Amino acid sequence: MNILVVNAGSSSLKYQLIDTDTNEVGAKGICERIGMEGSLIEHKQLVKGLKVKIASPMNDHADAMKLVVKYLTDSEYGCIKDMNEIQAIGHRVVHGGAFFSGSILMTEDVLAKLEKCKAFAPLHTVAHLMGIKGCLDTMPNKPQVLVFDTAFHQTMEPEAYIYALPYEYYEKYGIRRYGMHGTSHRYVSAEMAKLLGKPIEETKIVTCHIGNGSSITAVKGGKVIDTSMGFTPLAGVEMGTRCGDIDPAIVTYIMDNEGLNTDQINDLMNKKSGFLGISGFSSDSRDLETAINNGESDEHYERAKLAVNILKHQIKKYIGGYAAAMNGLDAVVFTAGIGENNANLRELVCSDMEYLGIEFDVEANKNAVHVSNAVKLSTDASKVTVYVIPTNEELVIAKDTAAIVKSL
Ligand code: ADP
């Protein structure tokens, strides 16, 4: 089945056409600056290895979808003859609140519930609604399926998702832990269970999705029991520009002392903190690595090292904490931009973890960068297995969409 996977942002739309029988990506691309001057599409035909980047006016997401279909069916750059070869569309949706614990076919009722999710992730949800509408305008009769980043985390017990605030705020506003990156955690934990050669019901896995945004999840028996992101994606470990968990009293303290309003403090915690805030020069882990590798002569060395060490320390604590919460640990998985490529951070995290049963294979780890397949990072004697597994959220979205459409 050919599934068009769509990831709609407020001014961008990423897409992939995936054949779910072969898992092959026929084409993928991105429309950028939708609704702005200078909008453009970058389209890659993967079978022939062709690439095109063309400026093209796009007033809205419907215009973007028309362009996507045009290139997918193009005689030179396309990979299908016409739109009929697309069986369904699968959307990545960032926040499904407590409404959605799995992927679901888009209906009027589903859209009404998604509208309510604007309260949790306003920018993302509005963008997703625009993407869905754009698909409806361009391909009115195609089934559309929504796949939520929050869904996999819906198995948490209240003891893991309720904050120790007055309970009425949970009831009134739905303030609770939701978690993010669920599609990625679901994919890599399932792959890890296969590699362990055990039924997933018998596994205890910690999945570390470490990218620009990062989250760590405890998956026991295939079900999430806890995750580091919370009510919003600001919580958990230090990220590219987000602070992660801090003492909540710091928020009002800085607001009072710096005279900041809510928008300004939100901006500070979301965009000026994390790697960027600590290092003072970059949110990108590659820049921090360069500064660290340059040594003390580099003006950014000390704080780049501090930024990375803070993340290392936090990840270690999550792994240990989740092992305690699960009463055991079979495997740790690293994934996403940093998890898949930053061997130094993985080594820092997994060193001195013998007590927990991790015996790290330093050489295997050094070689495991830009991997396209799962690579084992622990020794054969290690009680806990450690892997790097490249995530593939788009494939999960395509597979879920195909399964729902087949059952119609
Ligand atoms: P997002 O959360 O936005 O999806 P990614 O998962 O792409 O982000 O992660 C971005 C981070 O991953 C950056 O800090 C970047 O330095 C790092 N990263 C991405 N690709 C590589 C690479 N090839 N080598 C080293 N680091 C990488």
Is residue 131 located within the same domain as residue 216? no
Is residue 231 located within the same domain as residue 136? no
Which of 92, 338, 366, when mutated, tests ligand 1's pocket best, judged by the most ligand atoms within 8 Å of its CB? 338
Q: Is residue 402 part of a domain?
A: no
Q: Answer yes or no: is the C-beta of 213 below 6 A from any ligand 1 atom.
A: yes
User: What is the per-residue pLDDT for 101?
Assistant: 97
CA–centroid distance, residue 385 to ligand 1 (Å) = 24
User: What is the per-residue pLDDT for 393?
Assistant: 97
Contact at 8 Å (CB) between 86 and 398?
no
Could you state, in chain order, the average pLDDT of each consecutive group of 10 residues for the chain (408 residues)?
Answer: 96 97 97 96 96 96 96 96 96 96 98 95 93 96 97 98 98 97 98 97 98 97 98 96 98 98 97 98 97 98 98 98 98 98 98 98 96 97 98 98 97
Q: How many domains does the chain have?
A: 2
Select from 402, 397, 403 the least CA-distant residue to 93.
397
Q: Where are the alpha helices (DSSP H) in 280-335?
A: 285-294, 301-326
Is residue 23 located within the same domain as residue 137? yes
> At 324, which CATH number?
3.30.420.40
Domain extent, residue 96, equals 2-148
Is residue 127 located within the same domain as residue 235? no
Is residue 246 located within the same domain as residue 348? yes
pTM here? Answer: 0.96
Q: Transcribe 45-91 into DSSP letters.
A: ETTTTEEEEEE---SSHHHHHHHHHHHHT-TTT-SSSSGGG--EEEE
Q: Is residue 162 part of a domain?
A: no
Is residue 227 located within the same domain as residue 138? no
Respond yes or no: is residue 137 known to be catalytic. Answer: no
